[in-house]
Structure 1
Amino acid sequence: MTNAYIRGTGFHVPDRILTNADLEKIVETSDEWITSRTGIKERHIAAKGEAASDLAAAAAKKALADAGMEAEELTHILVATVTPDCYTPACSCLVQAKLGLTHRIAMDLNAACSGFLYGLEQARAIVALKPEAKILLVGAEILTSRTNWEDRTTCVLFGDGAGAVIISGEPAPGTGSGRPAGRILDSLLCSDGSGADLLVISGGASSEPYATGQVVGPSHYIRMKGQDVFKLAVRSMESVCKDILARNGLSVDDVDLLIPHQANSRIIEAVGRKLGVAAERVFINVDRYGNTSAASVPIALAEARQQGRITEGSLVLLTAFGGGFTWGASLVRF
């Protein structure tokens, strides 16, 4: 099978920052309450009129520069999102247009917070079929468009942003940053729809269509049973990480950096602790961005590379858990 390589990474977040102190003025909460339960101190919020495709295109341009590539070289555009600009056309088509391209394969994926990992597997499959392919994969979300600011248990959690990677069958870094390319060693993905009602946005979709003039209700926004999701997230990410390491003949000691979905610090710390990964080998940036769903892992991956946390030879373990439920893990050797 043709190897698939991550040749470049990039991320983009909106300029506006919403701090915990700001949230204290909006809803009954406090910085201490939010920080102690989530580890989040601030999150970035999209400006009025700023859409997921805007964030995705900006992140894509940074990933292309990092890979030393021009947009014209791309053959495929994949966007993982639960908050696209509109139902149709796909966010990926709008990103394509904003990059000045036409006649490419473009499609969206929806696997909630696991969307980027599902996209990695899709990209690997494309490269296996078409070794000459050069793929843009973006995780992009404007979750604040589906956040109920009257629900203090959920509104403190989410932020907006986009992370992007360039994937191809060639490892050459080109004329970009010169950072090492990462070979995708393996991916393991799972899902279970029996818990769908524990984390859901249903209002306005085919199961709960809105009539003209109808008042938008709570079902339009993120609804989550936090304690149930917490337990499932920790258990599922721990299990899938152990499984992917075992089937590749690796142990936790071989992992140089664990990059989990940035849902909240307590989940991240619990996963690291149960896996036996030392805290210094677990990447955390949820304190500055909040939960950005499908954008979470690629933002963290791009930032980790920028900070020098990933160097030549590093084995990186990515893992995520999201609505569906979906979860998974990927191994990347840089």
Structure 2
Amino acid sequence: MYTSKISGLGHYVPENVVTNDDLSRLMDTNDAWIQERTGIKERRHIKKGDGNTTSGMGVKAATIALERANLSPSDIEMIVFATLSPDMYFPGGGVQVQELMGMDTIPALDVRNQCSGFVYALSVADQYVKTGMYKHVLVIGSENHSGGLDFSTRGRGVSVIFGDGAGAAVVSRNTDGQGGILSTHLHSEGKHKDELALQGPSTGYWVPEIIEKNPQEDIPYYPYMNGQFVFKHAIVRFTEVIMEGLKANGLGLEDIDMLIPHQANLRISQFIQKKLKLSDDQVFNNIQKYGNTTAASIPIALTEAWELGKIKDGDLVVLAAFGSGFTWGSVIMRW
């Protein structure tokens, strides 16, 4: 068995900044209302004509990650692409990345685990590298939320939260034995699947049925979220899966140098920080600038924390996510 490590990181967000005041012109909301409930001040949205797509943003983030890993696209032996917002219903974004980056006919795997998508994708890459099958796996989380949100007052409870962007990591065989991914921990609880979901269009709720049976004011092809229910479960599962990862490695909360939580809601992150008694230096949040970018949120935040010098060699880094499904997970790694 080998060990794996992250050898390169990159992220990309669209240039178009959408502030809370901008959204207040589209729906009955305001900056104070949004910040009080989510901590978000602004987010990035793809702008018509800017050329951005889910897979395209993933390629931009991946290109930076490869450069920092001193690798070329030809060195990558597998792509794991996490998103809830692919450019097409099928095929997934992984094969589009393969084409856009001019890679060989390597496997491309798509992960549809929404907010925990990057943690799940990273665990897959970790296992492929650990077993010796591949030396370098490209992991991408990318989202185009703005193309599918309800920007009316009806949809404000969801639409003010989400932003667009992409993050990428190269997972490589650890040849020097220093640092690396120590363990990953994954869970799901499908009985709560309807509490945070997009029901249609889908094969179970297709377009003709939507048009025929649903009045305009009850459109099921916009995301639904039971906010309080999700919040209550998130704070429990976040704590459980972080502690599970630490315990598996004989570590404690005092050993954490940096916790990167999925950027779902700043209030959730603050609650977890307080519950675990972590200092501000031990937790990194950037939801204030980007909103919730779902599968992209952890790699964007991880990249920014590293760029800012908040993550250094030898640090214990913990990633944790919770979201639709419900699914949740954690990654424990030594940088």
Verify same fold: TM over 0.5. Answer: yes
Q: Aligned partners of 2:243 and 2:181: how far apart in 1?
A: 17
How far is the alpha carbon of 1:218 from its aligned partner? 2.2
Shift of 1:102: 3.0
Deviation per residue, 1:265-288 (Å, 9 max, x gap): 100001111112112211010000
Contact 2:6 2:171 in 1 (8 A): yes
User: Distance between the aligned counterparts of 2:20 and 2:117, measured in 1?
Assistant: 27
Within 5 Å, which residues of 2 pair with 1:30-109? Answer: 30-48=30-48, 50-109=52-111
Match of 1:152 in 2: 156
Which residue in 2 is equivalent to 1:328?
329
SS of match in other structure, 2:105: coil
Q: Is the aligned partner of 1:199 residue 2:196? A: yes
- In structure 2, the partner of 1:142 is 144
Amino acid of the residue matched to residue 102 of structure 1?
D
Size of the aligned set, in residue pairs, is: 327
Native 8 Å contact 1:83 1:142 kept in 2: yes
Counterpart residue number, 1:303: 304
Alpha-carbon deviations, 1:215-245, whole Å to 9, x = none?
8862111110100000111110011111111
Please give the residue correspondences for 1:204-219 in structure 2 after superposition, counting only pairs within 5 Å.
204-211=201-208, 214=211, 218-219=219-220
Displacement of 1:144 in angstroms is 1.4
Partners of 1:170 and 1:311 in 2: CA distance: 17
8 Å Cα contact 2:174-2:180 kept in structure 1? no
Alpha-carbon separation, structure 2, partners of 1:34 and 1:132: 44
Indicate the residue corresponding to 2:25 in structure 1.
Answer: 25
Counterpart of 2:199, as a letter, is: S
CA contact under 8 A between 2:8 and 2:169: conserved in structure 1? Answer: yes
C-alpha separation between the residues in 2 aligned to 1:183 and 1:252? 19
Q: Which residue of 1 aligns with 2:258?
A: 257
Distance (Å, rounded) in 1 between the aligned partners of 2:174 and 2:232 = 39
Distance in 1 (alpha carbons) for counterparts of 2:174 and 2:239: 31
Q: Note if contact 2:119-2:331 (Cα within 8 Å) is conserved in structure 1.
A: yes
Question: Matches of 1:328 and 1:195 in 2, distance apart?
Answer: 16
Q: Tell whether 2:185 aligns with 1:188.
A: yes
Q: TM-score, normalised by structure 2?
A: 0.94
Q: Which amino acid aligns with 2:26?
A: I
Instruction: Supply the distance in 1 between the matched residues of 2:285 and 2:158 (Cα, whole angstroms).
Output: 20
Task: Return the alpha-carbon distance in structure 2 between the equivalents of residues 181 and 205 of structure 1.
Answer: 46
- For residue 15 of structure 1, what is the amino acid of its counterpart? E
Q: How much has 1:69 moved relative to structure 2?
A: 0.7
2: CA distance, partners of 1:66 / 1:287: 26
Alpha-carbon distance in 2 for matches of 1:147, 1:76: 32
Deviation at 1:248, TM superposition (A): 1.1
Give the whole-Å Cα distance in 1 for the aligned partners of 2:311 and 2:179: 10
Give the 3-state SS of the residue equivalent to 2:185 in structure 1.
Answer: strand
Question: Are positions 1:165 and 2:169 aligned together?
Answer: yes
Counterpart of 2:135, as a letter, is: A
Q: Specify the alignment match of 2:11 in structure 1.
A: 11
Residues 82 and 142 of structure 2 are in contact (CA less than 8 Å); yes or no, is this contact kept in structure 1? yes
Aligned to 2:227: 226
Question: What is the rounded CA distance, in whole Å, between the counterparts of 1:231 and 1:211 in structure 2?
Answer: 36
CA distance in 1, matches of 2:182, 2:189: 24
Distance in 2 of aligned mates of 1:333 and 1:289: 27
The alpha carbon displacement at 1:292 in A equals 0.3
Instruction: Please say if residues 6 and 171 of structure 1, whose CA atoms lie closer than 8 Å, have aligned partners that are also in contact.
Output: no
Distance 2:40 2:178 in 1: 31
Q: Distance in 2 between matches of 1:25 and 1:274?
A: 37
Query: RMSD between aligned alpha carbons?
Result: 1.7
Residue aligned with 2:8, SS: strand
Relative to 1, partners in 2 of residues 1:282 and 1:171: Cα closer, same or farther, differing over 3 Å?
A: farther
- The CA deviation at 1:198 is 0.4
- C-alpha distance in 2, partners of 1:270/1:232? 12
Percent of matched pairs sharing the same residue? 39
Could you tell me which amino acid in structure 1 is paired with residue 312 of structure 2? T
Which position in structure 2 is the counterpart of 1:124? 126
Q: Does 1:293 align with 2:294?
A: yes
* Cα distance, 1:218–1:50 mapped onto 2, change above 3 Å: farther
Q: CA deviation at 1:123?
A: 0.5
User: Which residue of structure 2 lines up, in the alignment, with residue 312 of structure 1?
Assistant: 313
Q: Is the 8 A contact 2:128 2:134 kept in 1?
A: no
